[in-house]
Every structure is written in C-alpha cells, then in structure tokens.
A and B are shown apart, each in its own frame.
Chain A
Amino acid sequence: MANNQLKRVDIIFSPYSVAPYEILRLTMHKEKSDVINELIESGLRGRGGAGFPTGLKWKYLAAEQDSEKYIICNADEGEPGTFKDRKLLVEVPRKVFSGMAIAAYVTGAKIGFLYLRREYRNLIPQLNKELDIFNESAKKFGLDFKISIFSGSGAYVCGEETALIESMEGKRGEPRNKPPFPIQNGYLGKPTLVNNVETFASTSMICRIGADKYKALGTDDQHGSKLFSISGDSPKEGVHELELGMKISDFVEEFGDGDTKAVQIGGVAGFCIPRKQFETSIIGEGNTTGGATMIFNSTRSMYNVLHNYLDFFAEESCGQCTPCRVGTQQLLKGIEAVKSGKKPASYLDDLIKLSKTMQITSKCGLGQSVTNSFASIIENFREEMIY
C-alpha cells in the first residue's frame, strides 16, 4: 500500500531493559534540567486528551518551592472506547512507574499515587507486586520516592485532574475552579503533577531513546508515537501504537471492516468523522486525542450512537454546573423529541447552539467537549436524527 502513510511503531510495548528500572537509574545520572529540556525538546504532549506539553508541566512543578509535592498517575481512563492504559498497566507497568519516578527525581516530589479506576481493581495484586520491586529499586538508587495505589470508586469525571484530586481528598469528584491549577495547588493544597499513564510511559521511553529519535517519529507538528484504542466495527480491535500524522483514510483502510461509515476519534468527548472527511489528518486542528477510536460501519444507526453518548454524559456529569448538568439532559431529550416528531427538525439547530454554549460556559472539560461529538454527528448524519 504505497500511499498509506500509516506506520506502526513498537516503542512503548518494547521489552524491558535487562535490570529492573535501569532507565531510571541511568536518568538519575543526568542533570535534572537536562531531563526536563529533553522532554520539552521531544515535543511530547499529554496523552490523556488535553494535550498540554509534558515537559513544561514538569518544569513548572520543579520550579515550585514547596517541600511537599505529589506525582499522580491518572489511570482513571473512563472514556468509552479507551482501554490503552489498562494494557500498559498489564504489560509494561515498569515503564509507567519509571516515568513517575523520573518526574519525582526532576521535581523533588517524594510521594506518588497511581489513581486506578475502580473498574480495573482486579489489576491491583499484580501492580502491587511490581510496586514492591519499584519501591525497592528506588531505595537502592537513593531516590526518596514511593508510589502507592489509590483506587477510584466509579466516576468518569474523576479523569479530570482536579476532580481526581478532590476524590483523593475524600470528597465528591467535582472539578475545581481554575486557577489555581494543581501544579500550584493540588492534592492537599500542595503542588501536584497529574499525568496520564501513557504520558508517563512515553517519558521513560524518551529518556531511553532520546528526544531526537522520538521527535523523528510523526510529522512536523505532531511528534512521536501514540497508542490508539481501536474498537467497534473493526477486525483488528485492540491497542495499536502508531506514528502520528496519518490520515483517517489510512487508518480506516488498515482498521476498518471495508464498510466504514464514520470514525469516532478521541472517545465520546471527541469528534465523529464521516466518510466524506476521511482525507483529513487524524489529529486535526484542535483535535488532540486520547487515542480512543471507534469505528462504525453502515449498519449502525448514528442516532443510537449519539443517544448512547448523551445518556453517558447525562449520567456522568458531576452535576454541579448548570450547562453540563441540564444541558446534557436537554440534548438527550431533545434528540428523542425530534426523532419522535414532538419537536421539528429545526430544533436540532437549537440544540447545536446549546451545545456551543455548553462548550464556552461549562466548568470543566466534560461539559465543554460534549459539543464535539454532538455537533459533528448532527451535522453529518442529520437525516438519521430525524427519520
């Protein structure tokens, strides 16, 4: 397939180095500022979905003067269609913990948590075994940093970093007002770094292969490799590591079942791309992704798909802010009303407008991102919403 730009890579799941936590040991011989600069140089962006430059985040935490700092690995992936973190924690937890430890080394944090979503509770015994090895290694290397597991309790919104912190503090997982950001005022009011599982794994791999090699992957504006959780109408469901910069058509060709009608990129909080837009890049403008990619073939009702998403949002909104709590209910009831003929088709336009209001007024990313899938499905599959 000469034209297909899709390139598989095998960095993140590559075998471990021989001695446990060898990358960590070696990295600890480097200057802290060099490590941070290397990360910045690599162009790595947060792999949870929001896409903030990781190196900068670390630099900010390192600059905080507090003696008490926390490193939290966000393993609360709850986005429907996302399961890459699970695979990482099952197959290469050592890389994740290495990333956290390197962050601790360069920022001076002494305590780390793996915030593990409740649904992955069955992984705890094996993760604890690995943590024993880690904590022992860290001690041997002279790194004063300990990681423990904090189990979630079942709330999608806790993937939002301030909600996650609230939850760790024993409260309802309601996102905080920002500013202040966790980097200044996080867990227990202390400077806190929250990064996604894949982000930490990627940082340890960057420390292993170097920024240059990492940066060489992908395209000019999208560096590195990325894990994609692929599900839906695909014969190749699962987690795949791909170089960034491919077109959706390349992707569909590789992973679709030959009858692909639409691809949901970035989970339900992302965009639904119809066939006519397959020639665009998979990470387009403002289209950062946590890598959840769901493929729908022509037998699927996009009304059902959207209904399912909205049902999810209406349940998983934390409920504190008006646009998200009530808006999600309105969108859900609204498409039902149009479908049943109780509201005219033009009501869909009112609902899109409402979803745009939710985008600019909601307190956190949950309410802000509902419009992505909502507007893209309504705009591209309008007939299916009505008839």
Chain B
Amino acid sequence: MTTIKLKIDGHTIEVEKGTTILEAAKKINVKIPTLCHHEDLCVAGNCRVCVVEVKNRHRLEASCAVPAEEGMDILTNSAKVRNARKDIVSLLVSEHNTQCTTCYRNTNCELQDLAAEYNVDGNRFLSVLKPNLSIDKSSWSIEKDDSKCIRCQRCVRTCAELQHVNALTAANKGHEMKIATFMDLPFNEVVCTNCGQCVNRCPTGALTERRYFDQVWEAIGDPNKHVVMNTAPSVRVALGEMLGYEVGTRVTGKMVTAMRKMGVDSVLDTDFTADLTIIEEGNELLTRLKKVVKDGDKSIKLPMITSCSPGWVKFIEHMFPNHLGHLSTCKSPQQMFGALAKTYYAEKKGIDPKDIVSVAIMPCAAKKYEANRPEMNSSGYRDIDAGLTTREFGLMIKQAGLDFKNLEDTAFDSIMGESTGAGVIFGATGGVMEAALRTAYAVVTGRKVPFENLNITPVRGTDGIRAASIKIEGCLPEWNFLEGVELNVAVAHGLKNARVIMDEIAAGKSKYHFIEIMACPGGCIGGGGQPIPTNAEIRAKRTKAIYEEDMGKPIRMSHENPEITQIYEEFLGEPLGHKSHDLLHTHYQKRHRH
C-alpha cells in the first residue's frame, strides 16, 4: 500500500493513495458539505458544493472527485471557498421551488440545510425556476416534482448502479437539462419498479413517495370504519430514527401503543403473514421439488424464487418476462394479510368486510403499487386499502402529538398479531431464506436445522449474492425422495444482483433450487420507504436490530406459531389448499422494458 502525505487545514495527514480529498478530510473530522455525493454511489462531482482550495492552484477542486496528492496543502474553509460555496448554493436555490413550508421534505432536506448554513440570500439571484412544471403523480408509489430537483443525478445513479433498471436518465442539455424517464413519460408508463431507492437518496423533495396518510386519518375518524393496521418487520427497527432514537433501536412495543393511541381499531402484525408465507411458500417449494425430483416433471420451474418484494416482482415482469414461472405464486405478506383481514378476520370478529379499512405500514414504496394491482382483490374488496411508508407513519405519530419516547410498551392484538422470530427476519436480506429453511428442514426431517440457535449464518450478511447448500439427511418417510439431496440456495439483494441471478437462469446455468431476492440493498431494512438518510452503516445497525428481535422471540420457527396452526384448522384447511389458492396466491404478467 502506497501512502501519501498532505495537509488539510493545517493538519498533516497520511492516507492511502487514491483517497479523495473528501475522504481524507473525513478521517480527521473535517466536514466538507456535499450534495451530489452519496456513499452508496459512484462519484459524480457535478454539484460543486464540496469545492476546496489547494494552495498554488487558482481553481478550486471538487473534493469528492479529486484524489489527494503528495504535498497538497488544502484549505476547506478559506474565504475563497466559503464565497464560492455560497454562490453555488445560491445558484441551486435560484433554480429551486423554495416553497419549503409546503414541502414533504421540509426539515429533512440537504439543500435547505446548506442554504441555512450559508445563510443564502434568496434575492441574491433572479429565479430561474422553470415555470409551469407539473408534478408527476401518475404512479401509485412515487411522485416526481421537477421544481425541487437540483440535478445532482443521485437518482439516476441509484437506478443505474444499484438497481440496473435505468428508468431515470439525465435528458437534454444546458438550461433544459433535467432528470427524465424514457421520453419523459409518466412514471406509471415506464420500467420503474417502484423500489423507491431513488427517493431514499434524493437530497430534496424532488422524488418522494405518494402519501396516503390523510385518507388513513379520515378512516380512523370515521366511526363506521374498522381500521386494521399491520406493520412490516423492518418498520420497528427503523421508525425510532424519526422519533429521536439512535439508529438501530427497536421500538416495537411503543409503536403498537402509538397506533392504538392514534385510534386504530386493531393493531396487527405483518409478521404473522410472514410466518404464513413460509408455510405456503415452503410447501410450494417442497411440492416443486417433489415434482421435479420424484416425478421428473419437466414443466416445473426451478429454481423457485421468492415473491415477497414487489419491486423485485415488477423487475422480473419487465426485464425477464419469459421467466415468470420461477416466481413463487405466493402473495407477499402484505397482500396475504389484506386478503385475510377482509375474510378470516372479518368472519372471526363479526365485522362486515366492507367496513374494514386495512392499512399496511411498510418500509417500502413498491408496496403502494402492489396494494393497487388490479388482481389484489381476492377478498371481494380491495385487500389493502392503503400502504404507508415508515416515513409517513412516523409523520402521523408526530401529527398525533404523541410523546413517543414515553409511551409504554404493549403487545399486538389478536388474531393475526402473533408471530415468530422467523417472521421478524423477513426484514433483512437472507431472512426469508433462513425462515424457510428453519421450517422446511423441520418438516422434512422432523429435526431442527443443524445450525447453532437456528441461526443460519451463511445466508446472512451484506454480500450482494450469497449462496449456501444444505444436505438433507434423515428424512421422514414421506420425504424420502429428498434423502441426500444437496439443497442449493442463494440470496440476492439490490436489483443489480437480481439481474445476475436471472441472467444465469435465462442462460440455463443456475444451479440453485431456491432463491430469495429483495429489490432493495439490505432487504426491507434498506427499503425505499425507510427513514432518510440511508447508508451501509445505518443498514447494518437496522439489520443487527432485526436479528436481536428474532433472538428475543420465544418461538422462532413459523410452523410453530399457534395462530398459524389455528388459521389452518379453522379457516384455510391445508397449505396450498383451495382457500389458500384463492386468497394467498397470485399470478404475474409480462411487461415491456422501457
């Protein structure tokens, strides 16, 4: 390793060759402001906010893009630097819709912070904001407001580098330059998967999720409506960030209390339907394996791939429409929940399903779209009436004026409120796989999966694609055909990695039986509906919290959830049975690629 020495604001520092000035400054706790820079993305160097002065150079250098050189003498806060930065922030403001008070990102906006820090004078320059920009609200999931865009291209890079979707591009040039979809078509007409990763990385309010919380408040206030809320596993490990907690704090009990205090009629858990997913999907996998291994049925597609992540589902529909047979037919836990809320739950509670409003609190932007897919009405009603993000939900708690930190911890209501640790870990990449293996192994062999504390560590972690194989030994008689089979599984997160997996499948070279794919980096804990900002460190802390939550659960295998046993006994009959087929399974459609 070659190192170089340089000076930053008078401090001499030694760094590895290739380190940027920005990274070097960070090492000695010198904060340089940035806008287009994002840790998850490649360097753009286009906003120019991070400029610094290098002695003996007339021009300033963009610290995010310029590597430190031996002997550099850098000033990060000279008058020349401050004046230039102020000019640049002023220019961005002059191009910006400065109606901050009505912006969803008010108080959580990087441009606003910088404008305040540099005390930008709004009258310094003339407004060059383009008149008559309309907001694209065509998508169920994502809103695009060009009047708030600072053209940093973080969204473009996110969509390209992390997701390999490239639904967004920079278009035109000069003063006409803007961020656009193909032919500037509305979001709902293009290849967008609704994953919302662009929203997570947008420094301003240009890209936001579509908000539905007003309708939810409306329903809560309506005495004739019975509002049922379910919250996804990863919400409880991230919500606290919006309410004054350190990243990685679990707030499950307070979250449940908050919902109750907000006036929600029944506070239930998506983790319950996560457990149910494991039963249905596990059985689907075993059935496919049986048909392939035992019956030699060539029409059955392996590997089977999970379908919990609606961003991923839309991705495969657009990008690999000829391989939809690999997707599990299981609905996602959100949609299973919705279908059961207006059938099983309604029946048990004696409530007319037409009066039930089912609301899902999700870490996700794509869940909004999923809830509105036309086929998601198997209960006879819209199965999920509203899908909210963690961010919207955090805002609702603030609106309700709750002193969140001082709320007591309470438990979910019943029925459909009981869950296991296996349901919880759905929130992190690898979790669905781990939960499925815990149950499938137990079902097939009658024994616990051979990993300490049920923690199947090979499928955990942050590598984009992780593979494992488990040898099945000592099968129960009915599963004899699986004796000695090496079950090859893989886990992928981030759609760029999904594409790698799918390219293998399309080429007929996939060696796997079962694959978990999550659209978002890190899985749901890094979902497009989670609190902003996001980075690897934040995602790691949320993941840690998820596994803590799992360890804290008395039951950690889905098939041991008593409410699951109950629902099969009292309502569904059997996994993959007639009712399951109607309510818990779905189909997919081919989509175009632009």
Residues of A within 8 A of B (CB): 155, 157, 172-174, 177, 179, 314-323, 325-330, 333-334, 337, 343, 350, 353-354, 357, 359-363, 368
Contact = CB atoms under 8 A, between A and B. Distances in A.
Contacts of B124: 350
A46 B519 CA distance: 50
B475 to A, nearest CB: 53
Describe A's contact surface by its main secondary structure: helix
B92 interface: yes
B288 interface: no
A361 B87 CA distance: 10
Interface magnitude class on chain B: 35 or more
Interface string B270-308: 000000000000000000000000000000000000000
A315 B47 CA distance: 18
B175 A354 contact: no
A315 B175 contact: yes
Given A325-B177, A326-B92, A361-B59, 18 more contacts: A172-B170, A177-B43, A314-B175, A319-B176, A320-B151, A322-B46, A322-B151, A323-B87, A325-B95, A327-B91, A328-B174, A330-B91, A353-B87, A354-B87, A354-B91, A360-B60, A361-B87, A362-B48
Contacts of A350: 124
Contacts of B170: 172, 174, 319-320
A197 B430 CA distance: 57
B45 interface: yes
Contact of A319 (B66, B125, B174): B174
B168 interface: no
Contact of B88 (A315, A318, A361): A361
Given A320-B46, A320-B151, A363-B45, A328 B91 contact: no
23 contacts: A155-B173, A179-B67, A315-B175, A316-B173, A317-B173, A317-B175, A319-B151, A319-B173, A319-B174, A322-B47, A323-B87, A323-B88, A323-B91, A325-B177, A326-B92, A326-B128, A329-B128, A334-B125, A354-B87, A357-B84, A360-B51, A360-B80, A361-B87
A353 B43 CA distance: 28
Describe B's contact surface by its main secondary structure: loop
Nearest to B88: A322
Contacts of B128: 326, 329-330, 333
Nearest to B92: A322
B122 to A, nearest CB: 14
Interface of B: 43-49, 51, 58-60, 62, 65-67, 80, 83-84, 87-88, 91-92, 94-95, 124-126, 128, 150-151, 153, 170, 172-177
Given A330-B126, A368-B59, A357 B87 contact: yes
Contacts of A326: 91-92, 94-95, 128
Contacts of A319: 151, 170, 172-177
A322 B91 CA distance: 7
Contacts of A343: 126
A317 B126 contact: no
Tell which of B47, B62, B175 has the most Cβ of chain A within 10 Å.
Answer: B175
Contact of A360 (B43, B58, B151): B58
A179 B51 contact: no
A361 B59 CA distance: 7
B166 to A, nearest CB: 12
A360 B174 CA distance: 19
B173 A318 contact: yes
Contacts of A334: 125-126
B292 to A, nearest CB: 43
Nearest to B44: A320
A350 B83 CA distance: 12
B88 A357 contact: yes
Given A177-B43, A326-B95, A361 B84 contact: yes
Contact of B48 (A174, A321, A354): A321
A327 B43 CA distance: 22
Given A317-B173, A319-B173, A368-B59, A330 B88 contact: no
Nearest to A326: B91
Tell which of A174, A321, A326 has the most Cβ of chain B within 10 Å.
Answer: A326
B174 A363 contact: no
Ranked 5 nearest A-B pairs via Cβ: A319-B177, A326-B91, A177-B65, A357-B87, A320-B46
Contacts of A359: 59
Contacts of A360: 51, 58-60, 80, 84
A360 B128 CA distance: 22
A318 B177 contact: yes
Nearest to A155: B173
A172 B178 CA distance: 13
Contact of B175 (A325, A337, A361): A325
Contact of B126 (A173, A320, A337, A353): A337
A297 to B, nearest CB: 30
B88 A329 contact: no
Tell which of B66, B88, B176 has the most Cβ of chain A within 10 Å.
Answer: B88
Tell which of A174, A325, A343, A353 has the most Cβ of chain B within 10 Å.
Answer: A325
Contacts of B91: 322-323, 326-327, 330, 354
A52 to B, nearest CB: 16
B54 to A, nearest CB: 11
Contacts of A363: 45-46, 48, 62
